[in-house]
Amino acid sequence: MRGFFDPRQLAHAPASELHNGGFVPYAETPARAEAVAAALADLERPADRGEAPILAVHDTGYVEFLKTAPARWAAAGRPGDVIGYIWPIAARRPVRLERIDALAGRYSLDASTPLTAETWGAAYWSAQSVLAALDAVRGGDRAAFALCRPPGHHAGRDYLGGYCHLNTAAIAAQAAIDGGMRRVAILDIDYHHGNGTQDIFWSRGDVFYASIHADPATDYPFYWGHADEIGEGAGEGATLNLPLPQGTALDAFRRAQHKALAAIAAFAPDLAIVSFGADTYVGDPISGFALRTEDYETLARDIAACGWPVLIAMEGGYAVDALGANVASFLAGF
Ligand code: OKP
Ligand code: ZN
DSSP assignment of 157-210: TTBBBTTBSS-HHHHHHHHHHHTT-S-EEEEE-SSS--HHHHHHTTT-SSEEEE
**Which of the residues 153, 154, 192, 213 is marked catalytic?**
154
Task: Report which protein residue has its CA nearest ligand 1's atom 7.
Answer: 162
Q: State pLDDT tens for residues 310-328.
A: 999 999 999 999 999 999 9
- Helical pair 168-178 and 119-138, crossing angle rounded to 10 deg: 40
Question: DSSP state, 15?
Answer: S
* Res. 91: pLDDT tops 90: no
Mean pLDDT of the chain: 97
- 188, 264 Cβ separation under 8 angstroms: no
* Res. 90: pLDDT tops 70: no
**What ligand 1 atom has the least distance to the C-alpha of 112?**
10
CA distances from 239 to 159, 164, 184 (A): 20, 21, 12
pLDDT at res. 264: 99
Question: DSSP state, 219?
Answer: S
Rounded-to-integer distance, Cα 14 and Cα 30, Å:
10
Rounded-to-integer distance, Cα 269 and Cα 208, Å:
8
**What ligand 1 atom has the least distance to the C-alpha of 277?**
13
* Res. 92: pLDDT tops 80: no
Rounded-to-integer distance, Cα 297 and Cα 280, Å:
13
| Mean pLDDT, residues 239-257 | 99
Biggest alpha carbon–alpha carbon distance for the chain: 55
**How many A from CA of 161 to the centre of ligand 1?**
8
Q: State pLDDT tens for residues 16-69.
A: 999 889 999 999 999 999 999 999 989 999 999 999 999 999 999 999 999 999
Burial of residue 6 (CB within 10 Å: 0-12, 13-18, 19+) is buried
pTM of the model: 0.98
CA distances from 214 to 221, 318, 330 (A): 10, 16, 20
Backbone angles phi, psi at 47, to 5 degrees: -70, 165
* Res. 280: pLDDT tops 70: yes
Which sign, positive or negative, has the C-alpha torsion 185, 127, 137, 243? Answer: negative
Q: State pLDDT tens for residues 201-236.
A: 999 999 999 999 999 999 999 999 999 999 999 999
Q: Which residues line ligand 1 (CB under 6 A)?
A: 17, 19, 112, 151, 154, 162-163, 190, 192, 220, 277, 279, 315-316
The three-state DSSP-derived secondary structure of 181-192 is CCCEEEEECCCC
Three-state secondary structure call for residue 334: coil
To the query of whether residue 154 is one of the catalytic residues in this protein, the response is yes
CA distances from 135 to 33, 112, 212 (A): 22, 32, 26
Q: State pLDDT tens for residues 144-201.
A: 999 999 999 999 999 999 999 999 999 999 999 999 999 999 999 999 999 999 999 9
| Mean pLDDT, residues 285-298 | 98
Residue 318's identity, in one-letter code, is Y
